Structure 1
């Protein structure tokens, strides 16, 4: 029985490849079987076995002494023995009254060794191969594992890698399997070409796809690796790009990648047909469901007559109409867009037909390919579950949500028939990608006058968007400069208590050494605090956020305080010692940005109200707002416009006036060209000025972003021209020596260099003030992090 158990365990571990590979050998052996059409034997003799027990082999033969058997029974016995995966050869012959079963056992793998590999670790290669210690060896599995290792190297961009498998004979029928690997050089993408494009240039289309041409930083960015799946995804990206810009007849005729073995570089080529560009003409809704008045659904239509044809707008309209109708009790309603082209006028009229769809239910949701991400992280993005009515629109919405998680390279959702005619099985296939990020950046601030100080600062962060496969967000960051140190830790659970409520917290500690206009260190500040926050989605684009904030600040006299005349306002604030703030805040965030890393279209707006006074020393109400509007100005040259507006106001309540430290300070997000806290109210102290901040600010900015000429787009470099305007005014502190409290506008113009670097988005700004006050502190250069919302 023990031998039989060992055999069954070995059978269950054999891969399908081995079973298929031996089928040819089975056919050969069957030809050698010579048995009477109906015969019996008195004994069964097993020969050639070394490890597998003879009784175990006899049990697999299935023929008993004294039992009548035929050639068909012998053929089945041979197949069963081969099917165990333990034998390289099997033959069954009859000799007199004896049935002779001759087997040639496979060797048993002792170790699997990898030699010559540096770019892929042994543990990762071991997961890619089928041969494992204590399992049967076969040449077919060896060849399959060679191919699997080559495929692993292709996935990291080393198509020239060679793999040779061999065995080392050991005693007792054991072998070591050795894979000799020559990794070769990285296979690069030399060029990406487009054939048939007229509306958009090659440069613009290369920016749409994820495959990039190789450059000297590609070894960090890893976006120049050719992959068939990525090529298919790039085809889909091109389709969506054209479909959303009026080209309803767009087709990808072919895509190919040709490898030049001489220089080990691919040439990737897309052949496309753009077709005509269309606009929407008449748009209407037609309902065949009794009780659904089409005229009441007009508000859910996103497509407008005269607009460029957009597949995304049609999808949004279908989702909106489906939700509206389902909310009225029609779970199986089906919305179908029917378009009619007017080729002469290049327009498309659309009728959204609402009909009763087939009654189908979801039997189960099957998820495949998620080696790291937990099943529930994927399932919770569906608004439907097992047993619910099948709704294709809600399935597509789930796919969009899964894509937006940025956990997967690809997401495909298909359906297969269920166990009953009215049931379907949803199959979700995902390909995971790395979700960890390491970002490092640097900044430099310098001034154009003797009253402004500057210096380098560095910052780094480690972020994991899918912590332990649970979909949780964790970020640890540190930054430091000549006069500052910042440390933060953030955690977010996107589905708190199983609901679509984001809950998280932030912990921070900041230190600052603050100088006056003469560069004298007048005070130091240490702040430690935490925030607990909750985010509740109202719509797909609108989110509400509530938070409780607590911080403790300590102010001490600076190294130059004793020998410097310091303003009365700052002396009073420092004299208050430890300052505690306890506040609650509420925010509304509206976000329709198409790409948070490289925005081209959409709005990101944030309106926040914060009230301090629930305990602690601070007692005030603060209102802030900021909105960024991105709009594509020219698709052909990839010219993007950005308009930013914002403002804030703080008002104290209670018996004590606001501290100067609670007021707003100017910074580069408010206006460039001026030093941090370099404009607004100030108090004259001797020959220097101490800037106090203000109670009110407004700012606006206009910017045009464009790709840098000559530099390949795969390098991620863009340029920008901008104009800023801002005012910071008002103060609760009154003194004859206080100035700058009136509403005076400042303005600046400048140019920027924006780089989507492997270390994170970086930006260099040069700004020149064109409207300023004599008391302002100027700063021309700024170097730091780019896209911030």
Structure 2
């Protein structure tokens, strides 16, 4: 371009040298200069267009994909044909494809063409898992492993893509599961066998090792609570035997599970706190592994084989014993009768302090406020009188708003109609939330026998959605239906009926309407019976039970003789 500018300047000088001859007009030099400027701008514009065309992405080509369509890969990137080539955008596209987890290798290349850049994306898909095997797995079943995979969200299953990270996580989960069943020394290794063209078989090779039992359980520092009482408080690791017996209480040792030891430690602490030792200190128990049994040959059922046991030692600092000083309430506006609230706690002033009785009183307090629509309140504030060894409780009743039930919905009732469940619900929509009525409703539903056991304190049964601003709550009841049909087939020979065969069918939830239907038929040489029964528990949508039974019987006395 500089050369062009230089040429245009020389022409201008020539025009100016011809001017004295009088041949050219005075405006000729200006016209030449204007023409040169336009030509220069046009040349610059054309060069810019040509340069821009060279940086345009004309095509994106995918290579190496087998299961994943090319359009799916293109949909994961942000660069498209017609865009200007940008190195930062290409790096962003690379990260986007890598984060999908579909590929184990990705490579971007560009190719210069007369019209611009052609982008080549080379991918290598992760292989597909065809089969997952478990070798040496005896203490737990394959279904137990799959259930734990689902609970811990491992994401490893046949026909899924092979991911080394998920395989390592699966190894850890299997070891944890075996540890819970006493196999603390188990090892898990993974063998991956390629299957052409793009699949693998995954095999977990398990060496379970010896089963670890709970050995001796010792308590040190317990002066006021016996070791036997503390051992009984341990629900998970205490030996199996006859409770409260002298010689038969420790018959069989349980399998050692390290994850359960923390729970038992808290139960031992609670046992002390229920006896007034509120500030008891129990550090982490000391565990020691030792060999047990008889190495080599042994007599089954008489001599134990080689194994391992874990001895557990608790070091306890009991501290001082406390009594209950007083229980006071504040901010109790809905229930202002402090004596009535105090009566909810099964413990008098001056009694030995009991953590269990305080928890029971708080539960009674929660039910009392729940019966009038108050769901939220705070835990007590504890203060100590070290001189008198008293514990004073101040319960700040943070009542919040009174909640009204806006909507009651049901989940899991695939057969049972909503109206069948709703007519057993004592809690009504639009009324204040009443915890007591809700518990009665669950009890009535349990009596129907249509669903698995519904527990009021199970968060997986009742789901509450609170609207704090408007003081409203939505209740969702989650149920799991169980078998409602019964089919029977019988037959035999008797002196009265001779040879006979019978069939029966009954259901307590016919068509999901809560109706009972039964059909029975029996045919024999001397007797024939047929009956049909039907019961409607809510006649005309009222709690009036009505039903009927139709039957016929026929005897053949000639055949019986």
| TM-score of the pair, normalised by structure 2 | 0.54
Counterpart among 137, 144, 148 of residue 117 in structure 1: 137
Preserved contact between residue 322 and residue 335 of structure 1 (Cα < 8 Å)? no
The alpha carbon displacement at 1:148 in A equals 2.0
Partner of 2:386: 343
Mapping 1:173-252, distance limit 5 Å: 173-212=198-237, 223-228=254-259, 230-252=260-282
Q: Distance in 2 between matches of 1:335 and 1:237?
A: 24
Partner of 2:312: 268
Partner of 1:102: 122
Q: Distance in 2 between matches of 1:80 and 1:92?
A: 13
Partner of 1:592: none
Query: Relative to structure 2, which stretch is displaced further, 177-186 or 232-241?
Result: 232-241
Partner of 1:308: 352
Partner of 1:379: none
The alpha carbon displacement at 1:158 in A equals 0.8
Preserved contact between residue 374 and residue 402 of structure 2 (Cα < 8 Å)? no
Mapping 1:350-749, distance limit 5 Å: 350=393, 356-357=399-400
Residue 99 to residue 207, structure 1, CA distance change in 2 (3 Å): same
Partner of 2:109: 93
Q: Distance in 2 between matches of 1:395 and 1:196?
A: 47
The alpha carbon displacement at 1:165 in A equals 1.0
Partner of 1:168: 193
Q: Distance in 2 between matches of 1:75 and 1:143?
A: 29
Residue 222 to residue 170, structure 1, CA distance change in 2 (3 Å): farther
Residue 191 to residue 50, structure 1, CA distance change in 2 (3 Å): same
Residue 200 to residue 362, structure 1, CA distance change in 2 (3 Å): farther
Residue 391 to residue 188, structure 1, CA distance change in 2 (3 Å): farther
Give a deviation string over 1:344-370, Cα, whole Å, max 9, x none. 2323344556564466789999xxxx9
Residue 173 to residue 231, structure 1, CA distance change in 2 (3 Å): same
The alpha carbon displacement at 1:166 in A equals 0.9
The alpha carbon displacement at 1:186 in A equals 0.6
- SS state of the match for residue 256, structure 2? coil
Partner of 1:292: 336
The alpha carbon displacement at 1:198 in A equals 2.7
- SS state of the match for residue 181, structure 1? strand
Residue 155 to residue 318, structure 1, CA distance change in 2 (3 Å): closer
The alpha carbon displacement at 1:407 in A equals 11
- SS state of the match for residue 198, structure 1? coil
Give a deviation string over 1:314-359, Cα, whole Å, max 9, x none. 23333445555665x5736847645543322323344556564466
Give a deviation string over 1:51-70, Cα, whole Å, max 9, x none. 33334323323322221253
Residue 278 to residue 215, structure 1, CA distance change in 2 (3 Å): closer
The alpha carbon displacement at 1:101 in A equals 0.8
Give a deviation string over 1:408-437, Cα, whole Å, max 9, x none. 9x9899x999786688999x9xxxxxxxxx
Q: Distance in 1 between matches of 2:135 and 2:359?
A: 52
- SS state of the match for residue 123, structure 2? strand
The alpha carbon displacement at 1:183 in A equals 2.0
Partner of 1:45: 61
Residue 407 to residue 419, structure 1, CA distance change in 2 (3 Å): closer
Query: Structure 1 residue 153 and structure 2 residue 178: aligned?
Result: yes
Query: Structure 1 residue 56 and structure 2 residue 72: aligned?
Result: yes
Unmatched tracts of structure 2, length 5 or more: 1-51, 150-154, 242-247, 293-306, 413-417, 419-424, 440-451, 485-507, 513-561
Q: Distance in 2 between matches of 1:349 and 1:135?
A: 59
Q: Distance in 2 between matches of 1:102 and 1:330?
A: 63
Preserved contact between residue 359 and residue 389 of structure 1 (Cα < 8 Å)? yes
Mapping 1:317-336, distance limit 5 Å: 317-321=361-365, 323-324=367-368, 329=372, 331=374, 334=377
- SS state of the match for residue 179, structure 1? strand
Q: CA RMSD in A?
A: 5.3
Give a deviation string over 1:652-680, Cα, whole Å, max 9, x none. xxxxxxxxxxxxxxxxxxxxxxxxxxxxx
Q: Distance in 2 between matches of 1:389 and 1:258?
A: 56
Q: Distance in 1 between matches of 2:131 and 2:392?
A: 67
The alpha carbon displacement at 1:133 in A equals 2.1
Preserved contact between residue 464 and residue 473 of structure 2 (Cα < 8 Å)? yes
Q: Distance in 2 between matches of 1:425 and 1:61?
A: 44
Preserved contact between residue 417 and residue 423 of structure 1 (Cα < 8 Å)? no
Preserved contact between residue 214 and residue 254 of structure 2 (Cα < 8 Å)? no
- SS state of the match for residue 283, structure 2? strand
Preserved contact between residue 289 and residue 355 of structure 1 (Cα < 8 Å)? no
**Which structure is larger by alpha-carbon Rg, 1 or 2?**
2
Residue 180 to residue 42, structure 1, CA distance change in 2 (3 Å): same
Count of residue correspondences = 378
Q: Distance in 2 between matches of 1:109 and 1:86?
A: 13
The alpha carbon displacement at 1:149 in A equals 1.8
- SS state of the match for residue 124, structure 2? strand
Give a deviation string over 1:739-770, Cα, whole Å, max 9, x none. xxxxxxxxxxxxxxxxxxxxxxxxxxxxxxxx
The alpha carbon displacement at 1:309 in A equals 0.9
Residue 48 to residue 264, structure 1, CA distance change in 2 (3 Å): farther
Q: Distance in 1 between matches of 2:437 and 2:252?
A: 35
Unmatched tracts of structure 1, length 5 or more: 1-35, 371-375, 377-381, 397-404, 429-465, 473-492, 498-789
Q: Distance in 2 between matches of 1:112 and 1:407?
A: 37
- SS state of the match for residue 253, structure 1? coil
Residue 276 to residue 383, structure 1, CA distance change in 2 (3 Å): farther
- SS state of the match for residue 61, structure 1? coil
Preserved contact between residue 335 and residue 353 of structure 1 (Cα < 8 Å)? yes
Preserved contact between residue 340 and residue 348 of structure 1 (Cα < 8 Å)? yes
Q: Distance in 1 between matches of 2:429 and 2:253?
A: 39
Preserved contact between residue 191 and residue 203 of structure 2 (Cα < 8 Å)? yes
| TM-score of the pair, normalised by structure 1 | 0.40
Q: Distance in 2 between matches of 1:164 and 1:103?
A: 29
- SS state of the match for residue 237, structure 1? helix
Q: Looking at secondary structure, tell me which structure has more strand per residue.
A: 1
Q: Distance in 2 between matches of 1:82 and 1:424?
A: 46
- SS state of the match for residue 254, structure 1? coil
Partner of 1:566: none
Q: Distance in 2 between matches of 1:145 and 1:93?
A: 36
The alpha carbon displacement at 1:110 in A equals 1.5
Partner of 2:96: 80
Residue 75 to residue 198, structure 1, CA distance change in 2 (3 Å): farther
